[in-house]
Amino acid sequence: MSARRGGRPLPALAAACVVLGFTQAAPAAEIPSAERRSGYEFMSRETRAMQDDDATNPAVLWLLDGEALWNRKDGAAGRACADCHGNARASMKGAAARHPAWDAAAGRPVNLEQRINACRAGRQQAAPLAYESRDLLALTAYVARQSRGMPVDIAIDKRTKPFLDAGRDTFMRRQGQLNLACTQCHDELWGRKLAGSTIPQAHPTGYPLYRLEWQGLGSLQRRLRNCLTGMRAEPYPFGAPEFVDLELYLMWRARGMKMESPAVRP
């Protein structure tokens, strides 16, 4: 918002705009790639050690469940994931690093959870697993584990571009009673403190992850709902297209960064 119109200052109007929160901040520049940091780097030494060691990372318990589910026959087709995909260690390598990815049947990008449920419905003829259910988290974590250490690799083409732009718009748009945009904290104020916690850059490289605050495993959408509630905005329901677009933007924003799934966060 410019305080000048026709060369003459309008101080009263400008002041009113500031008070009412109408000022339009210029969209923050994307964080340069050399300055991008995973949330891992903002954690304490103890929490990092917890994530790095498979003997202490509590998400390992979900990985064991996920491996069992991968090999379990399910649905009317009586097929297990392993019957088509074989060993996940080979076949699922890099899958999580590429999602959200374009899905021709849905006509839009889908995230990993949606891809798993589409596979369940189509190939196994089984009922979809509920968002944040133990089984879906376990299976997603097991698939995502196979991408650990690989760079995030989101391909944007003519089909996915509009969804990426929609996700970026959500990230940049002020919303909620606090009138905040994601970008204000995560592009402009990362590294500073919000209450007692360090503001991270919001790179979703470790999902689904074990959050100590949750005392359990959770998806990226659960985390996004937390953020929206904190901004006093109404969170989208699980699986909402707005969320998947935002996931796509966040993953694209973290392109090239290393996958950590399943990570540990405070």
Partner 1 sequence: MARAVVSLPATVKRGEIVEIKTLVQHAMETGFRRTQLGIAIPRDIIRLFVCTYNGEEIFRAEFHPAIAANPLLTFTTVATESGSIAFTWTGDKGFSLTESARITVE
**By CB under 8 A, residue 64 contacts partner 1:** yes
Binding to partner 1, residues 199-258 (CB under 8 A): 212, 215-216
CA-to-CA dists, residue 33 to 181, 187, 201, 225, 249, angstroms: 21, 12, 12, 27, 15
* Whole-number CA gyration radius for the chain: 20
Instruction: Judge contact between 261 and 141, C-beta under 8 A.
Output: yes
**By CB under 8 A, residue 266 contacts partner 1:** no
E strands, 90-143, where?
Answer: 101-103, 108-110
Rank residues 166 and 217 by Cβ distance to partner 1 and give the closer one. 217
Size of the site for partner 1 (CB under 8 A): 13
Rounded to the nearest whole angstrom, what is the least distance from the CB of residue 6 to partner 1 in the complex?
A: 57
Query: Reduced to 3 states, what is the DSSP secondary structure of residue 258?
Result: strand
The residue range among 58-66, 162-170, 175-183, 219-227 that interacts with partner 1, by the rule CB under 8 A, is: 58-66
**Known catalytic membership, residue 227:** yes
The span from the CA of 130 to the CA of 44, in Å, is: 33
Burial zone of 136 (CB within 10 Å; 0-12 exposed, 13-18 middle, 19+ buried): buried
User: Which residue from 22, 52, 56, 133 is in contact with partner 1, where contact means CB under 8 A?
Assistant: 56
The residue range among 5-13, 23-31, 55-63, 89-97 that interacts with partner 1, by the rule CB under 8 A, is: 55-63
What residue ranges bind partner 1 (CB under 8 A)? 50, 53-56, 58, 60-61, 64-65, 212, 215-216
Q: Which residues are catalytic?
A: 227
